[in-house]
Amino acid sequence: MIHLRIVAPVDRAERAMELLDASPSACNLIRLERAARRPEGDVILCDVAREEASVILSDLRELEIDQVGSIAIEEVDTQLSVAASRAVDAARGAPADAVVWEEVETRTSEDAELSGSFVAFMVLATLIASAGIFLDTPILIIGAMVVGPEFGPIAGFCVAAVHRERAMAARSFAALAVGFPAGITAAFVATLIFKWTGLTPADFGATHHTLSGVIASPGFFTVFVALCAGIAGMLSLTTAKSGALLGVLISVTTIPAAANIGVTSAYGDWASWRGSMAQLAINLTCILVAGTLTLLIQRVLYRRRKADHLDDPARRLAGLPAKGRMRHVRTARGRASREA
């Protein structure tokens, strides 16, 4: 279930109540008249089946409640209620497959930001992967994959491509364009220090370090795994399955490839350097392509569901047109977009 907290002027609150009261997938509907002070208006609380959350949120935004008031969205982990069970049964589809697009947009927008902490995690993850390469230890490579935050901007770029959000795409690109070079530079400098202090051998070859050799040798399975990871990553993001996302982070070799680029360049192993560069490029490209295509398919399915929803009697009670209308709405970052 999804919990909504709505603040709206009295006239919009009345129409929102008509909409939610007539929707069989909504329950626990509460209206607190004139309880809000800034902005002034009524407060409406309700729970909505996850499967219908986005179409109902779209209706509320068509009432322009997001412009004159606010809509807060929270995930309900556990609810013991017969009424809630009936609301879920009334919604089409399975809760596990439902996509709350507003939640996805907000989450990816936040994760796509270029920040000091993002760069710090990229540097730390790459340094951990560098140690794993020198020690030829898979545990450290896996740990580096988990620490690496690069999937956030990758997912943000995919969402931006589907929604044609140039600002989010630019932020995602900037995060990746700064984060990976920072990590590679850190691995390069660290390797030089390790060589100078004698912590690592004077000569380094991928043939004597199994993990480095694997990273520097992309092939068919590099593409195959990256495509699968891109699909799984988007599904885990849109369906809020964090456990699956952790598996995605462990399966792709973006951070290890970045670390190997820094290590091999410090040793002048240009053949392995080129292989690692290819590994990184292939992984990023395949994840972006697979993730974007996955989102496009999910978006098409949502638009079909939205089109069927336009004839819902609840919309007529709220004064919304049965065939809908194209109007400008604001995304989480304030950019105007069009929605049916």
Residues 263, 190: Cα–Cα separation, whole Å: 8
C-alpha count within 13 angstroms, C-beta hemisphere, residue 264:
25
Per run of 10 residues, the mean pLDDT along the chain (length 340 residues) is: 94 93 93 92 94 91 92 89 89 79 83 89 96 91 91 91 90 94 96 89 70 88 91 83 62 89 92 94 94 92 86 84 53 46
User: 2-98 adopts what CATH topology?
Assistant: Alpha-Beta Plaits (3.30.70)
3-state secondary structure of 324: coil
Residues 276, 215: Cα–Cα separation, whole Å: 6
DSSP assignment, residue 50? G
Residues 94, 253: Cα–Cα separation, whole Å: 33
pLDDT given at position 104? 85
Residues 263, 285: Cα–Cα separation, whole Å: 23
Q: What is the dihedral of CA 271, 274, 278, 281, to 10 degrees?
A: 160
Angle between helical axes of 151-163 and 270-309 (0-180°, round to 10): 50
Q: In terms of DSSP bridges, do strands 40-48 and 70-75 run parallel, antiparallel, or are they unpaired? A: unpaired
- Backbone φ and ψ of 331, nearest 5°: -80, 180
pLDDT given at position 248? 64
Q: Are 258 and 187 in contact (CB under 8 A)?
A: yes
pLDDT given at position 106? 83
Interior/surface letters 266-287, b for 16+ CB within 10 angstroms, e for the rest: bbebeebbebbbbbbebbbebb
Global pTM value? 0.82
pLDDT given at position 329? 46
Domain ranges (residues) in the chain: 2-98, 105-300
